[in-house]
Structure 1
Amino acid sequence: MEFYNKVGKMALGSRLRRLSEKLSDQASEVYGLYNIEMNPKWFPVFYSLAEGENKSIMQIAQEIGHSHPSVSTIAKEMIKGGVAKEVKGKGDARKNYIALTDKGGEINKKIQSQYADVNAAVESAMGESQYNIWKAIEEWEFLLEQKSLLNRVKDERKKRESADVQVIDYTPEYQQAFRELNVEWIQTWFKMEESDYKALDHPKEYILDKGGHILIALYKNEPVGACALIKMDGDTFELAKMAVSPKAKGMGIGYLLGQACIAKAKKLEANKLYLESNTILKPAISLYHKLGFKKITGVPSPYERCNIQMELEL
């Protein structure tokens, strides 16, 4: 137990596996007490077949929540142990089903008293515990179905790494980074166009001097993302030239840049943000929706790669 106390919740899976192994070992002793020849891991499949209906591997897997390969392996072991057998489908002889043998049927009769005693023993143990493990397992299964452990870890990683991200106003020292980040992104998906060269080679003249702004994302003081607000007519800015380095993927930098641009636009008393993109960029489109942008039909774009226009009311 000292190991688990030291490692903590990171070893949750290992600790549950340890508990499962302990319960399985003790279950084997229980089967021996009732003179029942059965491997504890067969129980879910056995119980499913004990209802008397012949079932396919897929049916059993869906019913007990196990994978198809897992049920197939257990079924083979049960067949080898003489507890189950393969039978042909009545309507289609090409289909194989699993059923209990006579030996399996006899076990099912003998095991009923064991069921009663085991259920009572578990209820008694739960009554002695401070927490209801059954309800806790149900709750955890539900939580992990809603959001997997992998996605939960990704979110925590993003939070941790985001704490080291700064979004700052552009200065001339970041002109090369602004250009390189965008060229790398554009050439990954499309091709550079005339308007790209204008904005990236001359950001001061094309963006800043016209009332626009550029924001740079730094991760541990290294430029890893950029985005521009280009002044349009009236009280509207275009959100443009957003690019994030592939090495900073998964850190939520695009979202941080988007939020910073929105905050900057509000500070400038803008009423709308406009952007152009392409629907093949699914993560980007998802990001824009998350930021609150909605699809619109706008004016013709100067960019060949544009096939969607979006707008955010501020």
Structure 2
Amino acid sequence: MDFLDELEELALGTRLKRLSERMLTDAGKVYKAFNINMQPKWFSLLALIDKKQKINVVEASQLLGLSQPAVSQFCRQLEKEGLITNIICENDSRKRVLTLTETGQQQVNKMKPMWQAVTHAAKELSQELDNDIYQAIRKCEQAMTRKSLLERTMDIYHEQTDELEFVSFEPKYAEVFRHINEEWISSMFVLEESDKNVLTDPVKYIISKGGKIWFARHKQLGFVACCALAKKKELTFELTKMGVLESARGLKVGEKLLRFVLHEAAKMPMKRLFLLTNKKCQAAIHLYEKNGFVHDRHVMEEFGSSYDRCDVAMKYLAIWHN
């Protein structure tokens, strides 16, 4: 049983690599059967030099779709075998071009009948399939040139954030609130007494005091993030206990949740909003800065002692109308 069959398209790259290695192994056996001392990986470069007669490394790299270091490595190997040499370019004495040696030309001429036989064998192989594999690979390469696998993956991955919904706290979600926050805090810091109190009883320490808690719920992944507004003084709130599960990182959940919370905060009777964090949380700090928070020493002096880990304090610059 082939496990790659279970992985299907997820293992497309692995499968193509395996097929490529098998094809190259068979190509090596073909050369051996014809008593030709040749490595299959040199074939395309030799065929290109034979067709162009003279070509430089940069042009060869572009035409073969290989990196310049890879082409240069093949050139050194072929020069060592005495099959090619580099000479001064006739049009520009500062440049050197690749050309076949007499031995190299003889070797290529000897291989051409074999190449023709391999071409027919490859066509025969392709015709045994429901689809022409050669044309399919060409189209796949063209499609990847238009839009890479990375670009396609990231677009689809980020589109999944459209499947988020924001849910207000209910007592039945208390365990979710604890789990999300324990995961991110424990991964970077030690849970402090104030953390334990809030996570054990968010109703007592946040909701009953006039605060709010929201969750981001993904249609496939479930609850993936949370954020709270804890009331500290009259018209003064702390943005706190904002965390995103590791399983949802990269979906921009944190940014969308933060913007939602700030939108909701604008509806509340509030004159001041601040947050406390740590320099280790650079990604979070950048997100806060991007969304209107600035560093503030007065906030640090007034509230910074709330957590031992706190060494960054920020306030929100929006103008509150409540």
Please give the range of the TM-score, normalised by the shorter of the 2 chains. Answer: 0.5 to 0.7
User: How do 1:106-121 and structure 2 match up within 5 A?
Assistant: none
Residue of structure 1 aligned with 2:85, choices 83, 97, 105 = 83
CA distance in structure 1 between the aligned counterparts of 2:71 and 2:292, rounded to whole angstroms: 44
Partner of 1:130: none
Partner of 2:73: 72
Would you say how many aligned residue pairs link Structure 1 and Structure 2?
Answer: 221
Partner of 2:208: 209
CA distance in structure 2 between the aligned counterparts of 1:188 and 1:46, rounded to whole angstroms: 48
The TM-score normalised by the length of structure 2 is 0.57
Gaps in structure 2 of 5+ consecutive residues:
1-15, 17-43, 88-94, 102-143
The TM-score normalised by the length of structure 1 is 0.58
The alignment partner of 1:268 has SS state of coil
The answer to whether the 8 A contact 2:207-2:213 is kept is yes
The alignment partner of 1:230 has SS state of strand
Residue of structure 2 aligned with 1:308, choices 305, 312, 317 = 312
Deviation, 1:78, is: 5.4
Gaps in structure 1 of 5+ consecutive residues:
1-13, 15-24, 49-59, 86-97, 105-139
CA distance in structure 2 between the aligned counterparts of 1:280 and 1:296, rounded to whole angstroms: 17
Partner of 1:288: 288
CA distance in structure 2 between the aligned counterparts of 1:65 and 1:29, rounded to whole angstroms: 13
The alignment partner of 2:84 has SS state of coil
Is residue 2:187 matched to residue 1:188?
Answer: yes
Tell me which amino acid in the other structure corresponds to 1:81. L
Is residue 2:247 matched to residue 1:273?
Answer: no
Deviation, 1:266, is: 0.7
CA RMSD of aligned residues (A): 3.9
Partner of 1:241: 241
CA distance in structure 2 between the aligned counterparts of 1:151 and 1:278, rounded to whole angstroms: 33
Tell me which amino acid in the other structure corresponds to 2:157. R
User: How do 1:1-314 and structure 2 match up within 5 A?
Assistant: 32=51, 37=53, 43-45=55-57, 66-77=67-78, 80-84=82-86, 150=150, 153-159=153-159, 161-220=160-219, 222-297=222-297, 298-299=300-301, 300-314=304-318
CA distance in structure 2 between the aligned counterparts of 1:157 and 1:235, rounded to whole angstroms: 39
The alignment partner of 2:255 has SS state of helix
Identity of aligned residues (%): 29
The answer to whether the 8 A contact 1:45-1:75 is kept is no
The one-character-per-residue Cα deviations of 1:121-174 (angstroms, maximum 9, x if unpaired) are xxxxxxxxxxxxxxxxxxx99x99xxx862563244122x21221111101110
